[in-house]
Amino acid sequence: MSGMKKRENGKRLGNRRLFSMGLFGASVLFLLLVAVFGYVWQDAASVTDFSRKNLPPCAGYLFGTDWMGRDMFVRTVAGLSMSIRLGLLTAAVSAVIAFLLGLSAAVLGRAVDGLVTLLIDLVMGIPHMLLLILISFACGKGFWGVTLGIALTHWASLARLIRGEVFQLRESPYIRIAGKLGKSRAYLAFHHMAPNLLPQFITGLILMFPHAILHEASITFLGFGLSPEEPAIGIILSESMKYLAMGKWWLALFPGLLLTAVVLMFHYAGQTICRMAAPGSVHE
């Protein structure tokens, strides 16, 4: 009886693992395709052709064309590709900042911890969008303004999380023993704590992509990011708003859906990795 139940459970688990892996693979493949094709189509995305302006979606132009005859499918994919690449860069930078700060806060003593906590509270205390706008404006807007703005504003919550984990680890017997054995703080941090923090770090990193991408979209939507001729998802969406009243729904709908898809894909990929890296979480 109990054996049968166990087998059923095992079967369900196996399916779930398979499903997770499939979803993970599909997500990564989708994101990779968007990133690569968008990169290749970068020049094509800016091509204007007034002889084909304001076309609704059709076989030739899946997402239709806008008021300057730009192919919205190509433009959307190019915009999302840039978002993904920018997301990769900024999320990586943010995660590294978070990892180092979180670790040093817990390891380097009370004074550093106080400083880092203050920094975290400072960044989290200012409304995110406002800080983002301030930084990117101060850095001269444009691509690097946005990149720096996003990179410098997304580390705080992950840093706080890692700091908490390190505090917990510090009190665990094996770390204390290693400490008593005379190992240095740096040795403890990188040899004993870092491997334990890796799952949190990787999950945090991947789950930061959607944030970074959405924030990139928001800030360009508000007109602080890139020049309007560049293909960026925020620019595409904010331009489409003007044309909604005229019934040109396709300009907003498809790019919006694709953006949502990209964000969801990152989310699923992150969740799957999280489960794989920390199998204990299935019991939660």
Partner 1 sequence: MRYQKKWRVTAALLAAALAASCVTGCSGGQENAETAGNTEAEGSKGTEGAGTAESGSSQSAETETRDSVVVVMGPTSEPEAGFDPAYGWGAGEHVHEPLIQSTLTVTTPDLKIGYDLAEDVQASEDGLTWQVKIRDDVRFTDGEPLTAEDVAFTYNTLKDTSSVNDFTMLKEAVAVDDTTVEFHMNRPYSIWPYTMAITGIVPEHAYGPDYGQKPIGSGRYILKQWDKGQQVIFEANPDYYGEAPRMKKVTVLFMEEDAAYAAALSGQVDLAYTSAAYSDQTMDGFSLFSCETVDNRGFNLPAVPAGETDENGVPIGNDFTSDVRVRRAINLAIDRQAMIDHVLNGHGTIAYSVCDKMPWYSKDSEAAFDPQEAERLLDEAGWKTGADGIREKDGKKAGFTMLYSAGDSVRQALSEDTANQLAAFGIHVTVEGVGWDTAYDRAQSEPLMWGWGAHTPMELYNIYHTRPGGKYAQYSPYSNGAVDAYMDEALACTDLEASYELWKKAQWDGGTGITQEGDLPWIWLVNIDHLYWVKDGLQVAEQKLHPHGHGWSIINNVDQWTWE
Instruction: Select the residue interacting with partner 1 from 24, 224, 250, 254 (CB under 8 A).
Output: 224
Q: How far apart are CA 216 and CA 193, in angstroms?
A: 33
Q: Which of residues 161-200 bind partner 1 (CB under 8 A)?
A: 161, 200
Does residue 244 bind partner 1 (CB under 8 A)? yes
Closest distance to partner 1 from the beta carbon of 203 (Å): 8
Closest distance to partner 1 from the beta carbon of 55 (Å): 13
Does residue 237 bind partner 1 (CB under 8 A)? yes
Does residue 215 bind partner 1 (CB under 8 A)? yes
Does residue 227 bind partner 1 (CB under 8 A)? yes
Q: Which of residues 117-146 bind partner 1 (CB under 8 A)?
A: 129-130, 133, 141
Instruction: Identify residue 36 by its one-letter amino acid code.
Output: V
The residue whose two tokens read 């730009």 is 70
Instruction: Select the residue interacting with partner 1 from 34, 188, 207, 236 (CB under 8 A).
Output: 207
* Chain centroid, CA 248 distance in Å: 30
The piece of 10-18, 28-36, 170-178, 211-219 that touches partner 1 (CB under 8 A) is 211-219
Number of residues that bind partner 1 (CB under 8 A): 47
Instruction: Identify residue 18 by its one-letter amino acid code.
Output: L
CB atoms within 10 A of CB 183: 15
Q: How far apart are CA 197 and CA 268, in angstroms?
A: 21
Contact 95, 204 (CB under 8 A): yes
Instruction: Select the residue interacting with partner 1 from 143, 157, 167, 268 (CB under 8 A).
Output: 157
Q: How far apart are CA 170 and CA 174, in angstroms?
A: 9
Instruction: Select the residue interacting with partner 1 from 107, 166, 217, 269 (CB under 8 A).
Output: 217
Instruction: Select the residue interacting with partner 1 from 214, 251, 258, 262 (CB under 8 A).
Output: 214
Cβ contacts of 245-249, under 8 Å, gap ≥ 24: 248/54, 248/56, 248/64
Q: How far apart are CA 96 and CA 134, in angstroms?
A: 22
Kindly state the tokens that stand for 109: 């003593």
- CB nearer to partner 1: pick between 114 and 228: 228
Does residue 154 bind partner 1 (CB under 8 A)? no
Does residue 284 bind partner 1 (CB under 8 A)? yes
- Tell me which residues touch partner 1 (CB under 8 A): 48-50, 53, 67-68, 129-130, 133, 141, 157, 161, 200, 203-204, 207, 210-211, 214-215, 217-218, 221-224, 227-229, 237-239, 241-246, 260, 263, 267, 270-271, 274, 278, 281, 284
